[in-house]
Every structure is written in C-alpha cells, then in structure tokens.
Chains A and B, each alone.
Chain A
Amino acid sequence: MLLELEKVDCFYGDLQVVKQVSLHLKAGEVLCLLGRNGAGKTTLLKSIMGQVRRRGSIRLSGQPIENLSAHEIPKFGVGYVPQGRRLFSELTVRENLSIGEMARVKGQANLKDIFTLFPVLEKRLDQMSGTLSGGEQQMLAMARALCIGPKVLMLDEPTEGLMPQMIANIREVIVRLKQQGVGILLVEQRVEAVLSVADRIAFIENGLLQETVDRQQLEENDASLKKYIGI
C-alpha cells in the first residue's frame, strides 16, 4: 500500500476539522475526495504534508510519517499540487522546476518525460511563472510536483478555473500517470471530472469520512452524490 491513513484527526489551533479519517491508496490508483466546501478535504491533504497539526497514523510505503516535519515528507515521494497552484511567481519556469527537483532523494528529474506530458513548458523555460496563463500555471504546478519523482501525487482542485480543452489535457495527464503506477489522491468539485478518472471516491462531510465507493458503484447508483454533494 502506498499511502495509509488510520484514524487521522486534524486541527487548526484548538478547532478539530477532520475526525478519525481512515483511508488507503494503492499504486496506480486514483482516489478522489469529494465533499462540499469546508468539509475538510484540503485540510486532509495538508495534514499528510505536515502543514497542520494532526493525530493518528499516516504511513507512506509502510513508513510512519506523522511525526516528521513538513520539509521531510516530500523526500518519501509525495508530490503536492495545492489549490491555487502556489507557484513561485517571481521565479522562472526553469527555477520552479529546479525547486521541484530539490526534494528528489536520488538522481535528476527526467525533464524530457515531463515535457512530453506538458510540451508548452519547454518553450517557456525562461519565462516568469507568474506571467503564464492559468492553464500553463496548472501544468507547471503539476510538472514541478512530478520533478520529485512522486509515488503519490496529491492534486487539490487541478481543474479549477480552466478552459475545457485544458481540463481534458489535465485529465489525460492523470490517466498517463496512473498507468505509470503513480497513486493519485485527487480533490475535485467537478463530478464529471471525478467520474472520468477516479477508481474510488471517498465522501467527506463535516470532517468525517462518510463512505468510500467504487466508480462503477457510483455510476450505477448516484444516491451518495445526492446525499453528500446535493447533485
């Protein structure tokens, strides 16, 4: 198992936002977290990255990481693309990718492979990342995370605010990464995007993991969608 969470609680100060969440992610699997705004999905990703106070067991490839500092976690092979991309906008595309490489435990990132997924970035290497279009910025955010050589990639709303063509590109990249054996933990609001790539869907409400279903189950019976998302 690549990623295992067991009875994880997350806190902002004294406020508990995620309660007793247990889930797992296998290699080459896409697990999507679905829930309304404020349900605790982003907080759960942040807790895996060590950015919020958390309790419970978090294991990456069998190694416990719950007591590690935030900067130690990427070296276990976790790439995180946060909501809003959070690029270093005053650094060039090349420099952003170099930062991504810093978390690699060994070797250099295969930029050739990364440019196969995101060809436009190769032409923009010396451009300030803040001047890229929204879609290009999302590509760079994902490319930067891929420079780590991640076993687990966590994507927080990667299609937010993008044009349909760009959304299709992002979906295609997710599928290719999945085929390469990368485990993907995806937070997404757009249900059709989720259904097109996810293997399993975990519904989170008020910080609690309500249920986890296979995509096929959800396609056959959308009661969970109605119950937790209101669609």
Chain B
Amino acid sequence: MDFGPFLFLATLEGLVQAAVLCLTALGLSLVFGVMRVVNVAHGEFYMLGAVLAYWVTSWLAGSPAIGFALALLIAPLLVGVIAYLSEKLVLRRLGYDPEATIVATIGILYILQQSALLTFGPDARPVEPPFYFRVEFPWFGYSGYKLIVVAAAAVLLALAWFVITRTRLGLIMRATQFDRQTAQNYGIDVNRVYALVFAAGAAFAAIAAVLIVPIQQAHYLMGGDPLLLAFIVVIIGGLGSVRGTLLAALLIGLSDGILSVFFSPTLAKMVSTTLVALVLVFKPEGLFGHRSRL
C-alpha cells in the first residue's frame, strides 16, 4: 500500500482509539475536576462495562443488535449504580481527602477486578458487533462498525458538552468544581453533586467499553491501559476541562494510532508519556486547566 492510503488507514485507527479515549478520559476528568479525586478504579469501571456487555449479549445470543443495544443501556446503568454506591459508602466517609481516596480507589480497583475474575473467569470473552458492513474506500475497505463507534462517541461528547455548558445541572457542576464552599452557600448539595459526577464518570467509561468490546473482547485485566491513557489525557488537557480532554484525547489517540501502525505501539506510549512529562514541567495545570478553590 502507498504511503498516503497507509497514513489514512492509520488515521482512521487513531480516530477510533481517540473516540473511545475521549469518552473514558472525560469521565476521569469530570471526577478529577469536580471532586479532586484521583480515581484509580476508573479503568475497572471500563472493564466492568465490557464484561457486563458480554453478559447481556450472551444472554440474548440470538440477536446481536438487540443484545448490543440493551448492553449499551444496562452496562453503563449498572456501572453507574456501583460507582454511586462506592462514592456513598467509601469516598464520602473519607471526606474526599485526596490521599485517602487514592488508597480507597486502589481498594475498589482490586475488589471490582477480582469480582469480575470470580464471576466471569480468566478468559477473554468475545462480543459480537451489532452489525457487519464495510465502507469501501478507493484503496481499501474499512469496518463500518468502527466508523459508527467514532460517530457515536462524537454524539455522546456533544451531548456531554451541551449538558455541562448549557444546562442548570452543568452550571451546578461547574460551580462546585470551582468553589465547593461557595456553592454550598447557594444551596447546592455538594455531596449529591459528587455522587452524581462519580456515577456519570464511571458510566462514561462503561459506554466507551461497550462500544469498543466488539473490537477488543472483554477481559478482567483490560482496565489498565485505558486508565493509563485516560490519566495521560487528563493531565495534558487540564483538570476538569472538557475542551482540554477532547483535544488531548484526539492528540494522544491519533498519535498512538499512527505511530503504532508506522512504527511500534511502544514508541507511541513513549511519545505519550514524554508529552505528559513536558506538560507537567512547563504547564502543570494542563493545556486548558485552571486552579480551583476548595
């Protein structure tokens, strides 16, 4: 294949990765930005989304499209409920202390990971795509499902953007993010906002996982890589910045996709981590981040 079509193929692969990364990182960024909680268990919410998608689709094995559509509803909902309970039973009791919540979310990580292992076993579980079709380009054919993943992520991100910037709920979240004490002075129940944000953040990770699982398979150890990449994106983009998260996810997703195709996945990871180091040294609040008052 010539260089041009090869680059186009690599860009498409990068776009798919960026789309899923955007959703995963947005969840982490919201939690980090609004609550100042470093959620080390975020990757496990992603894993749970994938595993639950396998569970739902295997339950409705006869019709992949209906099974997938149900998985897209049920998995994020269940993951959101689990996250909501984790916030209420663990993080709230720790007073959202930054150090204590890191340790607590590491604990949640292991509980979720080992629960998935005990329930679904150690094998990778395939999930059938809801439909098969190929989009024919002049140089090659490409999976239609992957393009649908990019489009679905774009729609979800636009929806999230709308909620955060144009609705009363979004205004409450932004006010809480900027100054929780003053938000309380205006009747905002900060604990409730935190529980909602934590659940929504986990649900975003779960949606990303449901979208990607027909391409990758569900496995109880699959949460590590998305967590690392999501942290890279959040640090580069800036704490709690939706715009920063989207741009950083595009940058990292595309560079990861292109470098992995042309060179090696290891080089792609080296570039990502170097970028993080540079941002931490020269712009510690991230490209679009701001400091908050707590």
Where the two chains meet, the residues of A that have a C-beta atom closer than 8 Å to any C-beta of B are 49-51, 69-72, 74-75, 80, 82, 86, 88-91, 95, 98-100, 102-103, 144, 148
Contacts and interface: CB of A to CB of B under 8 A. Distances in A.
Query: Would you list the 9 A-B pairs with minimal beta carbon distance, nearest first?
Result: A103-B187, A70-B184, A86-B182, A74-B187, A71-B189, A71-B184, A103-B186, A88-B178, A99-B186
Contacts, number: 63
A21 to B, nearest CB: 21
B179 interface: yes
Given A51-B181, A91-B178, A103-B187, 12 more contacts: A70-B184, A71-B184, A71-B188, A71-B190, A72-B187, A74-B186, A86-B181, A86-B293, A91-B175, A95-B171, A99-B172, A102-B168
A166 B129 CA distance: 66
7 contacts: A70-B181, A71-B189, A74-B185, A99-B172, A99-B183, A102-B172, A148-B186
Interface in B145-204: 168, 171-172, 174-175, 178-179, 181-190
B185 A82 contact: yes
A80 B290 contact: no
Nearest to A70: B184
A88 B185 contact: no
A70 B185 contact: yes
Interface of B: 168, 171-172, 174-175, 178-179, 181-190, 290, 293
Interface of A is mostly: loop
A88 B174 contact: yes
B223 to A, nearest CB: 32
A102 B168 CA distance: 9
Given A88-B174, A90-B290, A98-B171, A51 B184 contact: yes
B169 to A, nearest CB: 11
A86 B187 contact: no
Given A74-B187, A99-B186, A102-B187, A88 B181 contact: no
A100 B186 contact: yes
Contacts of A69: 184, 189
A49 B187 CA distance: 11
Contacts of A80: 185
Contacts of B185: 49, 70, 74, 80, 82, 103
Nearest to A154: B185
A178 to B, nearest CB: 22
Contacts of A99: 171-172, 175, 183, 186, 188
A89 B188 contact: no
Nearest to B174: A91
Contacts of A88: 174-175, 178-179, 182
B186 A102 contact: yes
A179 B263 CA distance: 75
Contact of A71 (B174, B187, B293): B187
